[in-house]
Amino acid sequence: MSELHSIAARMVAKGKGILAADESTGTCTKRFESIGVESTSESRCDYRSALFTSPGLESYISGVILYDETFRQKIVGTNHLIPEYLQSKDILPGIKVDTGAHPLKEGSEEKNTTGLDGLSERLGEYYALGARFAKWRAVITLGDGIPSDECILANAEGLAKYALLCQQANLVPIVEPEVLMDGTHTIESSFEVTDKTLNTVFEQLEQHHVDLKGIVLKPNMVLSGYDCDNQASIEEVAQQTLECLTKNVPSEVPGIAFLSGGQSNDLAISHLNEMNKKDTDWNVTFSYGRALQQDALKIWAGNLENTNATQGALLSRAKANSLATKGNF
């Protein structure tokens, strides 16, 4: 098996999932503001060191997505660079490589993700520093008259170009087309837009000759808009999401690792669990940011003395999601 195929398979191995800890400085600062902690490169490193040194994290977590700053930091109080420390625990280090979502056109509500300039060089450097996979997030906003075909195509093309460059640099690309679930739309609209988005993404991946056995897909689940009056049940979400994926995702893809996207921590577990009660062509797991970290972040509160409890909260969410990857939660 090629290195890419075996890394992709490890990322989505049954019982394991991915911890997304790649919040940009801006996003991390917003999260820290919510708990009243000043966001500095030291405080960000303290927090992330607490997460990554959780004892036994490797039982549930196959890989961690890092942001550039974290990739170059050391675990607090040690001489271990964070990617090397993770590798020593048998956790694959990954790196967010897009440079954010920007207006598709001036004044437009729709976004396109940037980051292709100089990407090859950056990927080579990250590989040398220990990265084994990368992430690029495309954002599709659902609203009145949007998304446009132009927006979906531009984002799908970006994902495909990024994915090919990653594979050329021996990094497994996490391909993340996120249809946002903010708004009053129904689960049917969510299905329709996710369907169209995934269809275009796989068309582009194939046109760019991306090796589908060497990627991990990170999609949104098909949910009712968060402000929709009629919220679909857990069973309906699982059924609609799997139907949409089965329609669009070729069986060569080794795994699907969902983003949590702002759903509650408990629903993120239940939806994943429900999907894993059924047989699927790919391993179905998690690549959660908020749904794994929210409890831990609140408990940490910027205080080193809370490290044990912070780690306990992360491990408890990670374990529950691990069980959910087997339908055993």
Distance of CA 225 to the CA centre of its chain: 20
Q: Which stretch binds ligand 13P (CB under 6 A): 87-95, 118-126, 140-148, 258-266?
A: 258-266
Closer CB to ligand 13P, residue 76 or residue 194?
194
Alpha helices in the chain (DSSP H): 3-11, 25-33, 41-52, 68-71, 82-88, 119-128, 149-168, 187-207, 234-248, 265-275, 290-300, 307-324
Under rule CB under 6 A, residue 131 binds ligand 13P:
no
Nearest residue by C-beta to ligand 13P?
289
Q: Which stretch binds ligand 13P (CB under 6 A): 80-88, 206-214, 287-295, 300-308?
A: 287-295
Which of 155, 260, 283, 310 touches ligand 13P (CB under 6 A)? 260
Under rule CB under 6 A, residue 111 binds ligand 13P:
no
- Buried b or exposed e, range 35-57, using 16+ CB within 10 angstroms: eebebeeebbbbbbbbbbbbeeb
Burial of 329 (0-12, 13-18, 19+ CB in 10 A): middle
Q: Which stretch binds ligand 13P (CB under 6 A): 9-17, 108-116, 238-246, 254-262?
A: 254-262
Under rule CB under 6 A, residue 261 binds ligand 13P:
yes
SS (H, E, C) 164-190: HHHHHCCCEEEEEEEECCCCCCCHHHH
Among positions 203-222, residues that touch ligand 13P (CB under 6 A) are none
Catalytic residue status for 218? yes
Catalytic residue status for 135? no
Calculated CA dihedral for residues 115, 120, 125, 128, nearest 10 degrees: 130
- Characterize the bridge pairing of strands 111-113 and 101-103: antiparallel
How far is it, in rounded angstroms, from Cα 235 to Cα 245?
15
Closer CB to ligand 13P, residue 167 or residue 220?
220
Closer CB to ligand 13P, residue 119 or residue 259?
259
Active-site pick, 218, 252, 278, 319: 218
Q: Which stretch binds ligand 13P (CB under 6 A): 43-51, 106-114, 221-229, 255-263?
A: 255-263
We find the least distance from the C-beta atom of residue 179 to ligand 13P, in angstroms, to be 12
Which of 173, 214, 254, 289 touches ligand 13P (CB under 6 A)? 289
And the tokens for 323? Answer: 């069980």
Under rule CB under 6 A, residue 197 binds ligand 13P:
no
Closer CB to ligand 13P, residue 220 or residue 307?
220
Binding mask of the shown chain, residues 1 to 20, with x at each position contacting ligand 13P by CB under 6 A: -------------------x
Element (H, E) at 19: strand 17-21
CB 200 within 8 A of CB 158: no
Element (H, E) at 93: strand 92-96
Q: Which residues bind ligand 13P (CB under 6 A)?
A: 20, 137, 176, 259-261, 288-291
**Active site (catalytic) residues:** 176, 218
